[in-house]
Amino acid sequence: MTLEILDFGYPQNTDTGILKTFITQQGIKSQSKEETSQITSQVTGQIGWRREGIKYRRNELFLDVLESVNLLMSPQGQVLSAHVAGRIVMKSYLSGMPECKFGINDKLLMESKGKSSTDETSSTGRSSGMSGGKTSIAIDDCQFHQCVKLSKFETEHSISFIPPDGEFELMRYRTTKDISLPFRVIPLVREVGRQKMEVKVVVKSNFKPSLLAQKVEVRIPTPLNTSGVQVICMKGKAKYKASENAIVWKIKRMGGMKECQLSAEIELLNTNDKKKWTRPPISMNFEVPFAPSGFKVRYLKVFEPKLNYSDHDVIKWVRYIGKSGLYETRC
């Protein structure tokens, strides 16, 4: 393996994707000078992340927009901090040496090191499932896979690349502006004397009625001196977990523009501890089928001039998954 990694003591290529093509259980022995020069050109060439001669019976491209939305909200409903961390993950099963072109929201507002610029992308050539959403998205910072041609991103405002074979992360980004918060939690906590507390929690979904959130979980903290809890909720299941000092409320599915409510009576033990309970925030977990940042794929095109297939022959799949990061509401 010295040829792939080192050449006369100088590092050439340590890309795992390329090294995997040469490292096998049986090993590879070059039979001729042509084979040796082919390996060397691949290792030291411009397209080190993809080998030549890849063939598939069916050309497919999978693109996942994966976002983690983080929130800290005041009891009055004021957003104290919010940001989205996003990843674009692709699975490429394409023959030959294809060039992919990928366009996002019509306007891309980039903010980096105190500079801001407005970038526009063409919204023509939309494929099914690649339309709608906001016309602009403000991205604070982003990182690209080495296959992306950054010069084209700056001049044409689109992402051009020759993809590695199989699964890889194309892009990472972060945004803090105009986030569509999927849920709002409205807490109401009332102390009834020293031995009783009443809690009411309303959860509102703020997305299209046609969409369904899944794996919704609300975690409501309880005082350390809790002796018993009575819970009533009309949707989902709620249970007091003494070991976790919390009421855990689980809802399998929840549609958009809906409202769910939970009421609980908490009985408290008399303690000599005069310290007032510092109420920890209510936290949420969920999964929604959209990008909370407003990130939208406008088009995804594939060009392969040498082989006999066109952009229309490629089967493309685009999926949006928004998940909760640290999603908290103070009470």
168: its two tokens: 């890889």
Compute the chain's Rg from CA coordinates: 26
SS (H, E, C) 73-84: ECCCCCEEEEEE
User: Rounded to an integer, what is the distance from CA 225 to the centroid of its chain?
Assistant: 39
Q: Does the annotation place 149 within a ligand binding site? A: no
Is 275 annotated as ligand-binding? no
Say how far apart CA 327 and CA 254 lie, in whole Å: 17
Query: Is 237 annotated as a binding-site member?
Result: yes
Does the annotation place 152 within a ligand binding site?
no
252 has binding-site annotation? yes
- DSSP, residue by residue, 202-269: EEEE-S-TT-EEEEEEEEEE--TTEEEEEEEESSSEEEEEGGGTEEEEEEEEEETT-EEEEEEEEEE-
CA geometry: angle at 279 spanning 218 and 257, to 5°?
Answer: 30
List, as residue ranges, the binding site.
237, 239, 241, 250, 252
